Structure 1
Amino acid sequence: MVKNEARGRGEVSTQAVFGAPCWVSLTTRDVEGAEEFYRAVFGWEWRPNSLGDRFRVAQADGVPVAGIAAVASMWQMAVAWTPYFAVSSADEAVARCRERGGTAAVGPLAFPPGRAAVLADRDGAVFGIWEGRLVTGWEEWREAAPTFIRLHTRDAFDAAIFYGEVLGWASAVPGCCEVHYDGDEVVLRSGGSVVARIHSGAVEAAPDPTIRPHWQIHFAVADVDACVRIARAHGGSVLRWQEGAGDAVLADPDGARFTVTAKRES
């Protein structure tokens, strides 16, 4: 079993946390506009990387927490936030996805220090995979972001089987993610921590993208209402919110949807 102390170091590879979400990335058409919006809403700072002008990495208190890829038009991809899961082999994960009725939209492609692919499950929910060295330590990333992901889909149990077979959940390999059931949700744990949930209820062909199968990225914030006001002031949209509530669903000026959730007191 991989110990949490090892997961926190900067040189952790995806083999140490395989199957777990390890990164989130925004596909957009306007990298400068996205930088300005998320700097205002979350206080993120941005730095370029070796991949060129279309790519940026967000930092929170100096820790890399998310990426921006201005490739929505070039790669004919939707403007959206996408979670990435750690895998030992991108090629094997892509093959398993295709064998089980999923699709590969992009990759695997080399993005030093690793390889990535963007896939869709058999209900159309988009997710990414990452093989190689993590951008930052896994525990450090989860604490600094902090992010949580939830899949809204037709059948949580069917989806758990698909992702389990593609990503190696609940396998006999030491360190794999554990799968538990909580009512109509499937709960994914890694190293004892809840890292994702799968929720039944989305409609496969629904016209509203918020109820089609999709992965929703949740960002924990100190003040949900303040985030809503700032998002509006910087060109974002409020899709679901009630003042004083514990969360809100927002969209950035380019249309990418995300959720802000009240940070729990430690």
Structure 2
Amino acid sequence: MSLLPKVRMPRTRRMITLEVRATERLSPAFLSVTLGGRELAHLEPMGRDQTVRLFFPRAGQRRLRMPSRDSEAWMAELLLMPKASRPWVRNYTVRRVRPELGELDIEFALHADGPAAAWARGARPGDPAGVFDMGITHLPPEDAGWQLLVGDESALPAILAILDDAPGSLTADVFLEVPERADFRTGLRVPEGVTVHWLARDGAGPGAAALDAVRRAEPRPGRGYAWVAGESRLATGVRRHLVREWAMPKSDIAFHGYWRQGRSSVG
């Protein structure tokens, strides 16, 4: 059985060049960057965990050189660019879209000193950036009676976006692990059947608190659906527990290793 996640792609997509309009520090570990521009009209808002490839300049580059191909051939095009003009590219969830204003928000987890965190910290209005739509993976079956959403700080924006789009009838248990209590989000509006568990890592290894919490939880009756993302060992550990202990079919579990401790992303 393939472990590749199920993905729903937009009907059409293209390379979109935008610029920074604003930034906002949300907590010690989170920074929101608002991007905008006329080309955002070409993005089809899909909600949920809609993911984009985010392109941004390397340090010292005066402009952003985007790939021109609106297909997966962009990867080969990017690799053929000289490093002096090649942009950085990372995957990020669209936290919010405001089509009427031509704006979208992306939240950065500042858990590392990688290129994306450094760019977000230094982003200023007018700085160029680009996006390429990668679709959504939160695709619960219609007959799922409940959901389990689990993630660390890298998956927090996606899970919050999923909850923003959730129907009022949703029944779900949500486990959100962040670096410290100061990163908890207050005032979340969720359906009555949703229980959100905030977990502070407080110096422990990434994913340990969330994995332990899931192991102590009990499955609800009936068919469920799980969406799990974050550090690689968290995603695989939760999936393994759900399959072995909860007897959940693998087809009802979407899991994503967004990052791996001690290893930098490619590109």
TM-score range, shorter chain: under 0.3
Higher-strand-fraction structure: 1
Structure number with larger C-alpha Rg: 2
TM-score normalised according to structure 2 size: 0.24
TM-score normalised according to structure 1 size: 0.25
